[in-house]
């Protein structure tokens, strides 16, 4: 570790799959991410929340999203949550945010990208510790600027810069525009300002609508003509070859979704599906190019060697079946039909609006089960790496279990800063639940979380609790039994063999931890929260 406090660059991709980038087995061109990942520590057991805003709440506070104000996602909330503590729909005052503490500790705090933690100026990045910020406030929008569906908009103006609402710049494309702003903020630093920086770059890509510049899409023309099952097999083989999953792993079978198999689809249907995946790949490549721009800048200023780079996805790959959404699906589909041109040659352009569906998503989450919005490993085990020359564990693969809540305590330790404990700025706050990764990254220990600790997840009534390699999981039908299932992740990465009947004593231990998780975090378990829909539409 160097004497000078390190800079921090935290990059979040939106709905990126576990095996999408090259360093994690993907065929998508991501040379900049690959160089960073291979130089650092690739994490194979790093976990998020099942969806976007809950993960971002955990990242920004080091505690559970039910405490931080995002107990459920505002866009798909159901009756029974209004006014409940922890379910405000924005980052509340029960927590202190990472940029607030880093700012107090003498860091320059910068953000450019998707916020999704509040839709008013009083709940914007500017109000939570960022000295400079350009932010997309809500869950999403067109990558070319502006909203998608007016009846579902939560804010009239989507973007803020510092303490004012703004429009997207001309010729805006999300990945380019967010990177432009971050580089602007870095370049505008006063020559005499020797403060280290915390730069937060949460991309909107590759969240749907799948949109990318024509020249990027052209690079992938025909690449996915064999369909998602072929891609899944290729990705699994690459993960094994790279040592990122066991050679003898049994992947969870692709979940039935009512769609026809690839060889049963017409050539036209195949072409449209493959084109969506081509655009998705183009979005990832464009994001990687922009990350390269930031890295090149830091290398040019001589700051890269003293910058801790953390990269992660906010959840598993997006697998929303919009047609199956009982609360919003029909209206969304009608909006798309009336206002967007999704003909084959237009897919990916600003006036198109498509997503790629659960089959392509499960190609990216394999060998894990399911995808975003689920508490299965496919929804919460995400691509992540940490790179810095000051760490002993570099150029390697890290298999220790960790979560997004661990980022804040890690950065505070590296910055020489402390969480204030029970109070901040005159009001009570919750403690951090995450653990610092620093001892693990230094090589001092081989774990992050004690094997006896329980870590829980809940969203949309889907539940899970983990202790060591044991995990209890509860999913409503048709994705689960509606009761608790038990899995040994050490032997069963795909969550296939339910051991609930064979190991009732272990399930009882985990359910006691689950009850404690619910009580400690104020989780509401109203029956109305269990609904059979795909909430990936907005997150």
Q: Is residue 304 part of a domain?
A: yes
Which residues, in sequence order, are CB contacts of 210 under 8 Å at separation 6+?
Answer: 276, 279, 280, 283, 347, 348, 352, 354, 355, 356
Q: How confident is the model at residue 329 (pLDDT cuts 50, 70, 90)?
A: low
Rounded percentage of the chain residues whose pLDDT exceeds 70: 92
Task: Please state the rounded mean pLDDT for residues 78-95.
Answer: 85
Mean pLDDT of 479-494: 95
Q: What is the pLDDT of residue 40?
A: 98
User: Is the pLDDT assigned to residue 121 strictly greater than 90?
Assistant: yes
Does some domain include residue 225? yes
Q: What is the pLDDT at residue 1?
A: 39
Chain segment 509-523, per-residue pLDDT in tens:
999 999 999 999 999
Whether the per-residue pLDDT at 306 is higher than 50: the answer is yes
In a domain, 410, yes or no: yes
Confidence of residue 538 (pLDDT cuts 50, 70, 90): very low
pLDDT higher than threshold 60 for residue 174: yes
Q: Is the alpha carbon torsion for 126, 131, 137, 139 positive or negative?
A: negative
Identify the pLDDT of residue 331: 72
Structure tokens at 376: 């299965």
Q: Output the pLDDT for position 156.
A: 57
The catalytic position among 47, 52, 66, 103 is 52
Q: Is 252 a catalytic residue?
A: no
Q: What is the pLDDT of residue 260?
A: 85
Q: Report DSSP letters for 66-118, one per residue.
A: HHHT-SS-GGG--TT-TT-TT-SSS--TTS--HHHHHHHTT-EEEEEEE--S-
SS3 category, 528: helix
- What pLDDT is stored for residue 536 in this prediction? 42
- Reported as a pLDDT band with limits 50, 70 and 90, residue 81 is confident
- Residue in 47, 65, 66, 116 annotated catalytic: 116
Structural domain includes residue 147: yes
Mean pLDDT calculated for residue range 114-128: 96
Number of domains within the chain: 1
Note the pTM of the prediction, 2 decimals: 0.96
**pLDDT at residue 535, rounded to an integer:** 40
* d(C-alpha 357, C-alpha 217), whole Å: 18
CATH of the domain at 452: 3.40.720.10
pLDDT at 3: 64
User: What is residue 79's predicted lDDT score, i.e. its pLDDT?
Assistant: 64
Q: Is residue 2 part of a domain?
A: no
Per-residue model confidence as pLDDT tens digits over 214-249: 999 999 999 999 999 999 999 999 999 999 999 999
Which segment of 37-51, 268-282, 323-337, 364-378 scores lowest on mean pLDDT?
323-337
Statement: residue 532 has pLDDT above 70: no
Q: What is the mean pLDDT of residues 188-197?
A: 93
Residue range 58-71, pLDDT digits in tens? 999 999 999 999 99
The band of 460, judged by pLDDT with boundaries at 50, 70 and 90, is: confident
Q: Inform me whether the pLDDT recorded for 447 exceeds 50.
A: yes
Known catalytic membership, residue 52:
yes
If you count DSSP H runs as helices and E runs as strands, how many of each does the chain have, helices first? 14, 18
Within-domain flag for 148: yes
Mean pLDDT of 116-143: 95
Residue 1 forms part of a structural domain: no
Say whether pLDDT at 539 is over 60: no
Task: Give me the domain span that covers residue 385.
Answer: 7-537
């Amino acid at each position: 570790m160097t004497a000078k406090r390190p800079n921090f660059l935290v990059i979040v991709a939106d709905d990126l799959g576990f095996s999408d980038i090259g360093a994690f087995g993907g065929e998508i061109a991501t040379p900049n991410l690959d160089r960073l990942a291979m130089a650092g520590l690739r994490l194979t057991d790093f976990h998020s929340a099942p969806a976007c805003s809950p993960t971002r709440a955990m990242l920004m506070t080091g505690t559970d999203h039910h405490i931080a104000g995002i107990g459920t996602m505002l866009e798909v909330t159901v009756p029974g949550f209004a006014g409940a503590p922890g379910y405000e729909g924005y980052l509340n005052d029960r927590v202190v945010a990472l940029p607030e503490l880093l700012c107090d500790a003498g860091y320059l705090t910068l953000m450019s990208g998707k916020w999704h933690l509040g839709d008013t100026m009083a709940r914007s990045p500017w109000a939570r510790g960022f000295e400079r910020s350009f932010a997309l406030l809500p869950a999403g929008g067109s990558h070319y600027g502006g909203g998608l569906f007016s009846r579902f908009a939560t804010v009239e103006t989507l973007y803020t810069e510092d303490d004012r609402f703004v429009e997207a710049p001309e010729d805006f494309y999300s990945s380019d525009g967010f990177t432009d702003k971050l580089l602007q903020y870095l370049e505008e630093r006063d020559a005499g300002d020797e403060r280290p920086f915390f730069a937060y770059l949460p991309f909107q890509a590759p969240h749907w609508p799948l949109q990318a510049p024509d020249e990027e899409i052209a690079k992938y023309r025909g690449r996915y003509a064999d369909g998602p099952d072929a891609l899944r097999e290729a990705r699994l083989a690459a993960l094994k070859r790279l040592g990122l999953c066991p050679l003898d792993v049994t992947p969870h079978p692709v979940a039935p979704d009512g769609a026809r198999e690839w060889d049963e689809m017409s050539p036209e249907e195949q072409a449209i599906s493959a084109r969506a995946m081509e655009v998705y790949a183009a979005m990832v490549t464009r994001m990687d190019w922009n990350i390269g721009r930031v890295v090149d800048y830091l290398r040019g200023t001589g700051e890269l060697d003293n910058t801790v780079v953390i990269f992660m996805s906010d959840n598993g790959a997006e697998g929303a079946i919009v047609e199956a959404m009982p609360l919003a699906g029909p209206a969304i589909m009608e909006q798309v039909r009336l206002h967007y041109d999704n003909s084959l040659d237009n897919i990916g352009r600003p006036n198109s609006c498509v997503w790629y569906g659960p089959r392509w998503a499960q190609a990216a989450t394999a060998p894990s089960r399911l995808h975003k919005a689920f508490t299965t490993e496919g929804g919460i085990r995400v691509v992540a790496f940490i790179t810095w020359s000051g760490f002993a564990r570099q150029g390697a693969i890290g298999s220790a279990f960790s979560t997004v809540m661990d980022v804040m305590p890690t950065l505070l330790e590296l910055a020489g800063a402390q969480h204030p404990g029970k109070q901040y700025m005159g009001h009570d706050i919750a403690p951090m639940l995450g653990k610092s990764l620093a001892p693990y990254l230094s090589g001092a220990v081989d774990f992050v979380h004690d094997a006896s600790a329980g870590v829980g997840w809940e969203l949309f009534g889907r539940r899970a609790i983990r202790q060591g390699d044991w995990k209890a999981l509860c999913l409503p039908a048709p994705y689960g039994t509606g009761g608790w299932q038990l899995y040994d992740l050490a032997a069963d990465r795909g969550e296939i063999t339910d051991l609930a009947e064979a190991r009732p004593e272990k399930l009882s231990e985990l359910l006691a931890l689950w009850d404690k998780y619910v009580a400690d975090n104020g989780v509401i378990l109203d029956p109305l929260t269990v609904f059979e829909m795909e909430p990936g539409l907005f997150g």
